[in-house]
């Protein structure tokens, strides 16, 4: 667990982009992580039911956080745009 990376509990659905947004602090700077519907649903049927997407997100949250943390560490932690899991 990297203490320079802090995941918030403030995830929300962004309907215009069709992504779940998970803000993460990297060395004190907040960066949004966008998680696509395709990623959340493992490439299965597209859904915009926010309650269903939140339920799926919460079930996968720790795996998602692990993947994002690994991505941040592999890329050196410098970002000027949202991180995307698609």
Per residue in 24-65, pLDDT tens?
A: 999 888 999 999 988 988 867 677 788 989 999 999 999 999
Cβ proximity of 24 and 31 under 8 Å: yes
Distances (CA, A) of 57 to 9, 23, 42, 61, 67: 12, 14, 11, 6, 13
3-class DSSP state for residue 76? coil
Structure tokens at 48: 């915009």
The answer, yes or no, to whether residue 1 has pLDDT greater than 60, is no
| Whole-Å CA distances, 2 to 7, 25, 26, 27, 59 | 11, 11, 10, 10, 22
Cβ contacts of 15 within 8 Å, gap of 6 or more:
48
Per-residue pLDDT at 6 exceeds 60: yes
pTM as predicted: 0.86
């Amino acid at each position: 667990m990297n203490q320079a990376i802090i995941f918030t509990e403030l995830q929300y659905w962004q309907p215009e982009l069709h992504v779940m947004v998970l803000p993460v602090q990297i060395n004190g700077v907040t960066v949004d992580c966008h998680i696509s519907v395709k990623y959340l649903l493992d490439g299965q049927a597209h859904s915009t039911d926010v309650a269903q997407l939140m339920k799926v997100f919460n079930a996968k949250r720790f795996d998602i956080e692990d993947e994002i943390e690994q991505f941040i560490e592999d890329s050196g932690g410098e970002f000027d745009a949202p991180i995307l899991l698609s």
